[in-house]
Structure 1
Amino acid sequence: MKINIRKLAAAGMLTALTVALSWFYIPVGASKCYPIQHLCNILCAVFLGPFYGVASAFASSLIRNLMGTGSLLAFPGSMVGAFLAALLYEKSRKLTLAYAGELFGTAVLGGLLCFPIATLLMGKAVAVFAFVLPFFMSSAAGTCIAIVVIGALYKGGVLEMLRRSLEGNAA
């Protein structure tokens, strides 16, 4: 895989944005839900692809955990959502599938993957589906913000220009 410096810089900026706005979260049970993470996951999916999206989600989760503003549950939720959103968008080029991938990947798959982390590593007694609803709420909030942001970029003609610029094909 060839490293694209523009995509790497954009992923770093989205990671920084996620960390900088980590003060905004919704506490639900043992988890902290970060809608800004899901917004950035979708932006990564549309502009950067699966590799950079997962790397950005991992980096922001790691930094938030090191700063004490996140939890171990951030890893599966954010990374699976970022991967599925980017994969579906890359294969289809449909924004609706990126949004659906983020919702399903984070809420259902990420929520289910949190069960062993919560019970084995964090010592929390939770049900298997305990994180699905809170992760869905967080992911839905971030997805709604992403729909507004990407919609504005699309209407202004900026969406395609940014995509070409990140690929190195600016006109």
Structure 2
Amino acid sequence: MNKNVKLTKIMVVTIMIALDIVLSPIFRIEGMAPMSSVMNIIAGVILGPVYAVVMAVVTGIIRMLMLGIPPLALTGSIFGAFGAGILYKYGRNMYWSMFGEFLGTGIVGSLISVPVMVWFTGQQQNLYWFVYTPRFVGATIIGSVIAYFVLVNLLKINSFKEIQRMFVG
């Protein structure tokens, strides 16, 4: 792989991480993080599944350390980023990426968050799934709508199409 391509990939992932860290707390709804869903979908379409997951993991760790967010920053984003990237890779359509984010964050991430939060808080509550699933699903729906409008415009720009070809192929 060309050194310039490697450097471009590192820069794009770094920019995506920075955008996610900065935008998520600004556009946060209590108990929901729709901007993380936006960034996961954009990363899934532009970066592909591997780099999208790397972005989600690094972002989640930084948000947990700097903003004091519980482990939900990881459980909610990693599965969504993977779903958005893998479904885009095989479906080649942003709607597939949005659906992957919905399944990954909205369903899988919310259900995995239950035992993680029971462990984190030390409290056994049978209704955690009732708290997390609607919020995660709501955030993915809001995030998908925003990501759609952002991606429609980004994919009109030739440089973004070129970056996408570098990552996704």
Which TM-score band applies after superposition, normalised by the shorter structure?
0.7 to 0.9
Instruction: After TM superposition, give the deviation of residue 7 of structure 1 in Å.
Output: 2.1
Partner of 2:54: 55
State the identity %.
Answer: 28
Q: Where in structure 2 are there 5+ consecutive unaligned residues? A: none
Q: Distance in 1 between matches of 2:166 and 2:134?
A: 40
Residue type at the aligned position of 2:6 = N
Q: Deviations over 1:8-34 (max 9, x none)?
A: 211111110111123232223xxxx21
Structure 1, unmatched stretches of 5+, are none
Distance 1:87 1:161, change over 3 A: same
**Residue in structure 2 matched with residue 66 of structure 1 by the alignment:** 65
Match among 141, 159, 162 for residue 160 of structure 2: 162
Q: Distance in 2 between matches of 1:52 and 1:45?
A: 8
User: Matched residue of 1:71: which SS?
Assistant: coil
Residue 23 (structure 1) aligns with? 25
CA distance in 2, matches of 1:111, 1:96: 21
Aligned CA distance change for structure 1 residues 161 and 122 (closer, same or farther; 3 Å): same
- After TM superposition, list the pairs within 5 Å mapping 1:95-134 onto structure 2: 95-124=94-123, 125-127=125-127, 129-130=129-130, 131-134=132-135
- 1:136 maps to amino acid: V
TM-score normalised to structure 2 length:
0.86
Task: Compute the TM-score of the two structures, normalised by the length of structure 1.
Answer: 0.85
Deviation track 1:59-110 (CA, whole Å, cap 9, x = no partner) reads: 1111111113422111111000000110000011011110111011101000
- What's the C-alpha RMSD, in Å, of the aligned pairs? 2.2
